[in-house]
Amino acid sequence: MLKRIIDFFFNKRLQISTILLLFISFVLFIQSSHPAIRHLQIFAGDVLEPVKEPVIWIQRLMETRKTNEILSRRLIHLSQEATRFGSLQEENKRLRQMLNFKERSEFKLLSAMVLSEGINKSVNSLLLNRGLEDSIRINDPILNVDGLIGKVFWVGESSSLAQLLIDPNSRLSVRIEPSGAKGILQWYGGNRFLIIDIPNTMAVEPGDLVVTSGLSDIFPGSLPVGIIQEREPAPDGFTFLVYGDFLVNFNQIHEVFIIFK
Amino acid sequence: MTRAGFIKYFLLVILIIAVQYFFNELLDIQGIKPDLFYIILIYMAFRLSPVQAVWFAFFLGFLQDILFHPSVLGLSPLIKTFSGYVLTQLIHQSVIRVRIFSSLSAILLIFFNHVVFNWVLFVEMPVSFRYVLMNYSLPEFLYTGGLFLIANYFIPLYPDSE
């Protein structure tokens, strides 16, 4: 009897292995947000971080000339902007004092390098070279010079995982300027987003700026997110479906900033 | 497989994983990257025993998710294990020994890999299957499939014909 059982398992070892491995994969997939799985991912990031960093450093060094040219151009542009904003800031300060407004606290930013990104265009998370030892916490917002990118969704000792706004599971509470309309933003493929729940009484137009609403505990208000491109009536007849493009080019993220709250 | 053969293939697998991991950006064309892991899987399935091939496919998929898509850990091993099993079954069919059929089967599996992977990710999104196919699955398939055909031109799928 025992021999027959052993023979059965031996003869069917391919099918049994396949079913077992498919089952393990399925469990991993549905439990991928389990803390033990996250620890495993972060452990891999921590182990690979010292190996990957020098390689990235060499790649960046090779790109330095091109980057330098882009930065020089941007510097000229920014210096003009800085002059303009300098005078506006002075004016703003005076007006705030007059109105007894408290000065808003400045963000504390920490730069981080992208260690790895996905192979598939549709899986949108990044491995960053900052972790607990840099005082990074889960849900710290991530941005670059163009706008909001996402948030930290798991932290290891020396690396962390970032969830991007272009992740199928990502949702963001946003405000559309200048109308002040608030809605929920989600990725719509490519560099496009969709905002739902905008009342059709609000004056939302193409070209309007989308910023974070400040209603969430995670993202501070007024961080730039994107530009409205088009709108259409929602099937419910009371709201608009608003489509727009992100300000950040998610295909070219090399360095990011993490906001300490 | 001889010991020398094992070492040769082991080093080759490590090399290709390293290329995908360290030079991922250089492989990028308009945000599309090839799945070199899948090409390794196809080649190794023709060189390993069926049980070895299925386990290899699982670990390759697991490693890929850990390194590249931690947010969907489990999806790549699921698809690759299934593909590994299908490949081992196909390899036992005599018709696949004809080069054109073996390449065609591999190409179809690459297409299956990209379609299923993206479909699972987008299943809850308000986008059509056609959109996902045209913008994600098809470009990724063409890139990976193209690289596979180039590799296949120089390196035959069956080790005994090398």
For the domain that residue A143 is a member of, what is the CATH number? 2.40.10.340
Domain co-membership, A161 together with A185: no
**DSSP state letter for A101:** P
- Closest partner CB to B71 (pick from A25, A167, A250): A167
- Closest partner CB to B68 (pick from A13, A118, A189): A118
Domain co-membership, A157 together with A198: no
Residue B118 contacts residue B132 (beta carbons within 8 Å): yes
- Decide if A46 is inside a domain: yes
Q: How many domains does chain B have?
A: 1
- Decide if A96 is inside a domain: yes
Domain co-membership, A162 together with A227: no
A85, A91, A96, A97: CA torsion to nearest 10: 130
Output the tens digit of pLDDT for each of chain A's 261 residues.
Answer: 778 888 877 788 888 989 999 999 888 888 766 677 667 767 777 777 777 777 777 777 777 777 777 887 788 778 778 777 876 877 777 666 656 544 454 677 788 888 776 666 556 677 888 888 888 888 899 988 788 889 888 788 778 888 888 887 788 899 888 888 888 898 887 788 988 888 888 888 888 889 988 888 888 888 889 999 988 888 777 888 889 999 888 877 777 888 876
Nearest to A234 by CA among A194, A189, A205, A190: A194
Q: Which amino acid does the sequence have at A45?
A: G
Instruction: Decide if B54 and A14 are in contact by the 8 Å CB cutoff.
Output: yes
ipTM of this predicted complex?
0.84
The residue of chain A with its CA nearest to that of B135 is A190
Domain co-membership, A145 together with A218: no
Domain co-membership, A97 together with A121: yes
Supply the angle between the helices B50-67 and B36-45 in degrees, to the nearest 10. Answer: 170
Domain co-membership, A118 together with A216: no
Domain co-membership, A41 together with A131: yes
Handedness of CA A227, A125, B34, B53 (dihedral sign): negative
Cβ-based contacts of B67 with chain A (< 8 Å): 44, 48, 116
Nearest C-alpha of chain B: how many angstroms from A238? Answer: 19
A vs B, Cβ pairs < 8 A, gives 147
For the domain that residue A214 is a member of, what is the CATH number? 2.40.10.350
Interface of B with A in 107-136 (CB under 8 A): 114, 117-118, 121-122, 124-127, 131-132, 135-136
CA atoms within 13 A on the CB side of A130: 23
pLDDT digits (tens, 9 = 90+) for B14-56: 888 888 887 777 788 887 888 889 888 988 888 888 898 999 9
- Decide if A71 is inside a domain: yes
- Decide if A7 is inside a domain: no
Q: How many domains does chain A have?
A: 2
CA atoms within 13 A on the CB side of B71: 25
Q: Residue written as tokens 């972790």?
A: A131
- Decide if A5 is inside a domain: no
Domain co-membership, A40 together with A99: yes
Domain co-membership, A94 together with A110: yes
Domain co-membership, A65 together with A161: yes
Domain co-membership, A129 together with A230: no
Nearest to A202 by CA among A225, A173, A179: A179
Write out the residue range of the structural domain in which residue A63 sits.
Answer: 36-167+255-260
- Decide if A31 is inside a domain: no
Domain co-membership, A122 together with A183: no
The residue of chain A with its CA nearest to that of B141 is A120
In chain A, count H helices and then E strands.
Answer: 3, 12
Instruction: Decide if B71 and A59 are in contact by the 8 Å CB cutoff.
Output: no
Rounded (5°) CA angle A68-A69-A74: 95
Nearest C-alpha of chain A: how many angstroms from B14? Answer: 14
Cβ-based contacts of A168 with chain B (< 8 Å): 121-122, 124-125
DSSP string, chain B: --HHHHHHHHHHHHHHHHHHHHSTTTT-BTTB---HHHHHHHHHHTTS-HHHHHHHHHHHHHHHHHHT-GGGTTHHHHHHHHHHHHHHHHHTSGGGGSHHHHHHHHHHHHHHHHHHHHHHHHTTSSS-HHHHIIIIIHHHHHHHHHHHHHHHHHS-SSGGG-
pLDDT band, very low/low/confident/very high, at B143 (cuts 50, 70, 90): very high
Write out the residue range of the structural domain in which residue B68 sits.
Answer: 3-23+31-161
- Decide if A25 is inside a domain: no
- Is the minimum CB–CB distance between B68 and chain A shorter than 8 Å? yes
